[in-house]
Amino acid sequence: MRRRELSEEELTQVINLKRAGTSWVKIQNQTGISRRTAKRAYEKWERSQTMQELKEARKEVAAAEFRGHMNSLITLAMFLVTNLAVPHLPDMMEKNAEQFFSSLWEQDLLQFSLAASVETMEAYPRMRRLVLDPQMNRRENELLFQSLQLHTREDVRWKALDEWKEARDNYVKVLGRLQKETSEVVRNFFNQEPQTDLLYKVKQASREDDPVKRIVEAVLPPMWQSILQDDLDQEYPLFETVDDTYVKSGGRTTVLRFDDSTDKSLTEKVAHICNLTANNLRKGVESDMVKSLQKEVRAMEKATEELREKLNPVKLTPIILRSRCDLCPA
């Protein structure tokens, strides 16, 4: 025999009676519906309500996870463009592109989220972690970066990042040659001095194992500032002696410090060599390499500015909302 299906009005009546604590026998007597039919219809309705509640709960979880996913992508994008910016110190430009990104992805970028509110932390609990496996952390950042590229493939010209990497690699190569040749220039200046064993005497008086390296490190920052300011013709700060025991750049940064008993002529000779080396960077053979560095820096700045504009959170948020990647939880 075919099972009877209750109408909406009958089902509502059964539901109300059962919720009021009425027994199935009394429900049968009051409604005229077989107690077995009423019970079966009620239990089916209960199961449907449970499934609907589960669906709603899953929607809430998926929405929270998607908010966390979106916040992670925005955080990673902001951290990326911030770190692509050309630094103010030359010693922060010694890593090539591969080394740079290897170091970047090892960081716990999500910990730096500007949107790390209580709501976000609850929505995306992985952001609360304190201890991370370095390899897992690197892989997560790489996956998020791939996700970012997928979400923005129609809106961001990612070739700009390749151009940045190429310029960075070129810069590092030229910088290595410049440092090597500048070291040779400094040694040649020492050898040209009529005073014999000048470099040895400088080592003894300054107690510095490698005065040549210290001088090279001192003359490169002014060169770097002229590159950043796009003015290679500007005069570098003069190196001078202070109290006959210091050689300083522009009266501030100490290049070498000598014993109090050191002959004044020795410190003056070192300051003179520093100035000759700096002038050589501006006008000598090495100036061509400095111009090459400037060219690569401009290329990096151009690529960084393009990505900074495209990955601005105001623009990035709607792009993520209308696109999808393999990691999207909803």
**Per mean pLDDT, which range of 13-22, 41-50, 128-137, 281-290 is the poorest?**
128-137
- What does R_g of the chain's alpha carbons equal in angstroms? 35
Mean pLDDT computed over 98-122 = 66
Among 38-42, 247-251, 322-326, the range of highest mean pLDDT? 322-326
- Tell me the per-residue pLDDT of 25-66, one tens digit each, with 9 for 90 and over: 888 888 888 888 888 888 887 777 766 666 776 777 778 888
- H helix runs in the chain, sequence order: 8-19, 24-31, 35-84, 97-105, 118-123, 134-151, 159-192, 198-206, 211-228, 264-283, 286-310, 313-321
Query: To 5 degrees, how large is the angle CA 82–CA 86–CA 90?
Result: 130
Q: Is the pLDDT of residue 220 over 60?
A: yes
Amino acid at site 299 = A
Residue 3: predicted pLDDT: 73
Cβ-based neighbour number of residue 265 at 10 Å:
10
The rounded distance, in Å, linking the Cα atoms of 97 and 297 is 13
The rounded mean pLDDT for the chain is 83
Task: List, edge to edge, every strand of the sheet that includes 253-257.
Answer: 239-242, 246-249, 253-257
Q: Is the pLDDT of residue 130 over 60?
A: no
Residue 46: predicted pLDDT: 77
Residue 138 burial by Cβ neighbours in a 10 Å radius (0-12, 13-18, 19+): middle
Going by pLDDT thresholds of 50, 70 and 90, the confidence category of residue 127 is very low
φ and ψ of 287, to 5 deg: -60, -30
Going by pLDDT thresholds of 50, 70 and 90, the confidence category of residue 155 is very high
Residue 254: predicted pLDDT: 83
DSSP helix/strand/coil, 127: helix
Mean pLDDT computed over 196-206 = 84
Mean pLDDT computed over 248-256 = 78
**Per mean pLDDT, which range of 51-65, 77-91, 242-256 is the poorest?**
51-65
φ and ψ of 117, to 5 deg: -80, 170
Mean pLDDT computed over 197-214 = 87
Global pTM? 0.72
Structure tokens at 127: 């952001």
Report how far apart, in Å, the C-alpha atoms of 86 and of each of 39, 228, 250, 253, 291 are: 73, 9, 24, 22, 16
Longest dimension (CA), the chain: 124
**Per mean pLDDT, which range of 13-27, 107-121, 293-307 is the poorest?**
107-121
Residue 330: predicted pLDDT: 62
Residue 81: predicted pLDDT: 94
Is residue 120 within 8 Å of 67, Cβ to Cβ? Answer: yes
